[in-house]
Structure 1
Amino acid sequence: MAIEAVVFDMDGVVVDSEDYWREQIADILAEAVPGAEIDPARVVGINVYDQYDMLEAEGYDLAVDREGYFDLYDRYAEQLYTEHAALTPGFHDLLDDVAARGLPVGLVTSSFPSWVSSVFERFDLDERFDVVVTAGGEDVPGKPEPDLYELAAERLGVAPAAMLVVEDSEHGVAAATSAGAHVVGYSHGASADMDHSAADAVATSPADLRERVRAGLE
C-alpha cells in the first residue's frame, strides 16, 4: 500500500530527550518505589499513568498515588523541554521532504499536551503537524497498544497501513507495528540498546533517518 501520511513520535525522534529522561526516570522510580530496583528502560516510551498502573499491577509498594507519580515527571519536564532537549538535526528538512510530496504529518506521543506545546514553541513546529495525538489527552490505551496510532490514522483520514511511522522506543515500535503501519525504527542514544527488530527499517543517525524515510515514501 502506498504511503499517504507520515507520523512521528516526539521524544527521541523529534527531539533528543531520551538520554535525559532515562537519567531522571531512575530518580523518579527511586522516589516513587523506594528500595526497588527497576530498570528505567522498562518504562521508556510508556505513558506516565500507564507506567503507574503497570507498577501497581506488578505489586510494587508505591509511595505516591497516580497524580503524585505524574507530578514527579512534570517536575523535570519544563526544564527538559525548554533547556536540555535539542531538535534532531535536519528535522525541519525532513518535514520539508514530506511536505513536498503533499503528505499530511502527524505526531503520536506518550508525552502530555503541555510538554508538546513547549517543544513546538521552542523549535517553531506549531504549523508543521496536521494531527497531534498525546497519550495524556486521549482516553485510549497508550503504547505499546496500537490505539493511539489507530486514532491518528482516523484523524489523518488514512488507513493505518498507509502510514509511515518513525519510532525510537521498543514500546513505540510495537504500537505502530500492531496498528499495521510501515515502521522506521530510530536506534540511537538511549534507544540504541532497544529491540527494533519489528520495524520495517532501522535508522542509526539523523542523516540515515532522513534517507530511510525518503526510501519509505518511494
Structure 2
Amino acid sequence: MLNTRYSFATFAPLHRPKAGLHFCTVGQHVVLSLPHFLHPLTADGRDEGDAGRNLMASEAFAAHVLPSESVIIEPAWKMILSNKGILPILWELNPDSPYLLPAYFDDPGDMFEWVKKPLLSREGANVTVHTMQDHIEGKGSYGAEGFIFQELATIPLFEGRRPVIGAWMVGQSAAGIGIRESDGWVTDNTSRFVPHIFR
C-alpha cells in the first residue's frame, strides 16, 4: 500500500495531463486536484489549459487573481460533499429540516415537481427538471454512477434571470460569495458569474 501524505510545503513541477487528475510528486508527497481548479491564467486573459475558455480573466476582478501566487487545491474529502448521494442521506437523517429539500434515491416518489441530478457531475450537466408544465432534460456525459431525485426549489425570476448565490467559507469565516444567474432552470457553465471577495 502506498503511504501518501498531502503536502503544501514542497512541490515538484506540476504535471498537466490532457485528461484526468493534475498531480505533482516529491518522494511520498502527492497533491491531487480536479482539472478545472488548476488552469493557470495568463496576463493576456488566456487560460493555458484551454485557450479562450476563461473569459473571466479579462474582467476587472481578474486583476486580483492574476498576480497571485496562490495555488488552489481541491481536497480529497470534497468528493464526499460534492457527491449528490449525500442529499438523500441528509434528508433521511433530518426529514423536517427547514434547510434541506426532500431527496431520494431511485425515483421521485410522490413529489410533483422535482429535479433529477447525477451523483457525480458539475455545472448542471445531465440535470433534469420536471415541473407541472415542463420536463427539461439536461445534456452531458454524467450519470453512469446513478441519480438522485430532489424536490424542485423554484428560484425567483429577476428580469428573466434566475440568480443563485454560492458562499465560500474558511473555517467559520465568510471568505467570498459568487452570484451565478441563468436564463433557464439549471445553473450551468454558460451562466453569468459575478465574484465578490471579503477583506
TM-score normalised by the chain length of structure 1 = 0.25
**Which structure would you say has the larger RCO, counting Cα contacts within 8 Å and 6 or more residues apart?**
1
Flag the structure with higher strand content.
Answer: 2
TM-score normalised by the chain length of structure 2 = 0.27
**Higher-Rg member (1/2):** 2
